[in-house]
Amino acid sequence: MSNENSKELQEKILMSPKKKIHFVSKEELDRADEFCEPYKDFLNKSRTEREAVAEAVAMAKENGFVEYNPDVRYNPGDRVYIVNRDKAVGLAVIGKFGASQGVMLSIAHIDSPRIDLKPNPLYEKNSMALLKTHYYGGIKKYQWTTIPLALHGRVCKADGTYVDIAIGDEDNDPCFCITDILPHLGQEQAKKTLGEAFTGEDLNCLIGSRPYADEEGEQVRLNTMKLIYDKYGFTENDFLSAELTLVPAFKARDVGFDRSMIGSYGHDDRVCAYPALMAIIDSGVPEKTCITYLADKEETGSDGNTGMQSDFLRYFIYDLAKSEGLEGYRVLSKSKCLSADVNAAVDPTYESCFEPKNSSYINEGVVISKYTGARGKSSTSDASAEYMGEIRRMLESNKIIWQVGELGRVDLGGGGTIAKYVANMNVDVVDLGVPVLSMHAPFEIVSKLDVYMAYQAFLHFFIG
Ligand code: MN
Ligand code: MN
């Protein structure tokens, strides 16, 4: 038997079993609650990536950011923003050393799973007008039936003008709905597996039921299209050049008697985008140039010119470098990144999907995922021990509570983030984000403390 006191030894060399929220002061919890009030507004205003970009630009302008001009040589403290096709946005604050020692990147995505309309969506059946849809991102289809839906997006008309649509969110707005069969007649459906019981082609959205006239033909379709034409000035043909999407029509709300959580559509990944936005706004005059970049298309694999696989961010950094007489690739090679995305929080009802020691929990702070991927870490960028150490020191020296988390147990499923696309540019990167319950559901849940810790993490990453 050793003569060293076991309790002392335990404290010295073993992990503390104490829940991290107990290390957080009442004042800090109050600050977290306060930080989350405007976050709820941001969620309510940003139902699509386009709306999130518009909101981010409005916030940027209010805080002294001006539109980026590649021909200008900027000075330390200057604030610029750059928009990619109205669907992705970068905000940069020029550091004291400019880009000469690399840039500090916080990246998140602002698209969320949803129900997109097909290019030719409108039809009538049994005297009801409906829209054909094609879902976007990974969803459990049954969750999107029998809930109120709002319609958002942009329609480009034949004459070259466009109209933006947002209907269904306000109390007096009409909303839309994907119907489901009643349980009494659902016995055949109930025999199917969850994945088979609801097909993509079943996700048809009800949008009208009154006819235009007592005549032959699809009078409900005609009446519904007339109402759309009267309100927005576009015709059925204009659906062909539109991006319209159905999103849950309920607002962000506090959850729990203690109001410790927020339930909302779109936390993934606006719950990281918003803290990253606030961090760049609050970064003052940092040492190195700092960039928050909010990307589109993560939920479908980051392809396309507004996704993280596009060269848009790379070109932006190259332009910043060039204006300072630097080589873009040298700047990238010295750059560092927090890839900000959500992770799956342990759900007490589905505990078996998780490995308890390496999964994230709400109220335990930001979750760091050294790697993501599936089937033996396939398709991940695995952060180095050195970079993990650096980020860990940054968090701990600033008393930011954090945890590690894999996405569920090994070989159960898995997933990826945009980290690897930045890593491929020869940048040090690790995933850091907020744990979420019911991820990809119409109503996802996060803890306010974790949202605030994410903000603290991005802020201190930027300001050192
Ligand atoms: Mn995500
Ligand atoms: Mn996602």
Q: 273 CA distance to ligand 1 centroid (A)?
A: 10
Q: 254 CA distance to ligand 2 centroid (A)?
A: 22
Q: How far apart are CA 54 and CA 182, in angstroms?
A: 40
Q: How far apart are CA 75 and CA 57, in angstroms?
A: 21
Q: 440 CA distance to ligand 1 centroid (A)?
A: 9
Buried b (16+ CB within 10 A) or exposed e, 323-353: beebebeebbebbbbbbbbbbbbbbeeeeee
For residue 22, is pLDDT > 70? yes
181-194 mean pLDDT:
96
Q: Residue 150's beta-bridge partner residues?
A: 247
Model pLDDT, residue 372: 87
For residue 343, is pLDDT > 90? yes
Model pLDDT for residues 221-248, shown as the tens digit of each residue: 999 999 999 999 999 999 999 999 999 9
pTM tops 0.95: yes
Q: Which residues surround ligand 1, an ion (CB under 5 A)?
A: 268-269, 341
4-28 mean pLDDT:
92
Q: 153 CA distance to ligand 1 centroid (A)?
A: 21
- List, edge to edge, every strand of the sheet that includes 402-404: 66-67, 79-84, 88-93, 290-295, 104-109, 336-339, 428-433, 366-369, 402-404
176: Cβ–Cβ under 8 A, 6 or more apart, which residues?
Answer: 131, 148, 149, 150, 151, 168, 205, 206, 207, 246, 249
- What angle, rounded to 10 degrees, do the helices at 26-45 and 267-281 form? 110
Q: 298 CA distance to ligand 2 centroid (A)?
A: 7
151-180 mean pLDDT:
97
Q: How far apart are CA 121 and CA 236, in angstroms?
A: 9
For residue 28, is pLDDT > 80? yes
Q: How far apart are CA 75 and CA 318, in angstroms?
A: 16
Model pLDDT for residues 415-456, shown as the tens digit of each residue: 888 999 999 999 999 999 999 999 999 999 999 999 999 999
Q: Any idea which ligand is nearest the CA of 438? A: 2
User: Strands 88-93 and 428-433: what pairing?
Assistant: unpaired
- Please compute, for residue 145, the number of CA atoms within 13 A of its CA located in the half-sphere on the CB side: 15
For residue 3, is pLDDT > 80? no
Q: Any idea which ligand is nearest the CA of 341? A: 1
Q: 342 CA distance to ligand 1 centroid (A)?
A: 5
5-21 mean pLDDT:
92
Q: What are phi and psi of 107, to 5 degrees?
A: -120, 140
pLDDT cut 70: percent of the chain above it: 100
Model pLDDT, residue 380: 86
Q: How far apart are CA 33 and CA 38, in angstroms?
A: 10
Answer for the pair 35, 54: CB distance below 8 angstroms, yes or no. Answer: no
Q: Any idea which ligand is nearest the CA of 271? A: 1
Alpha helix stretches (DSSP H) within 289-335 = 312-323, 328-333
pLDDT band at 110 (very low <50, low <70, confident <90, very high): very high
For residue 1, is pLDDT > 70? no
For residue 150, is pLDDT > 90? yes
Answer for the pair 291, 105: CB distance below 8 angstroms, yes or no. Answer: yes
Q: How far apart are CA 359 and CA 273, in angstroms?
A: 22
Q: How far apart are CA 302 and CA 286, in angstroms?
A: 29
pLDDT, the chain, mean: 96
Q: How far apart are CA 390 and CA 402, in angstroms?
A: 14
For residue 413, is pLDDT > 90? no
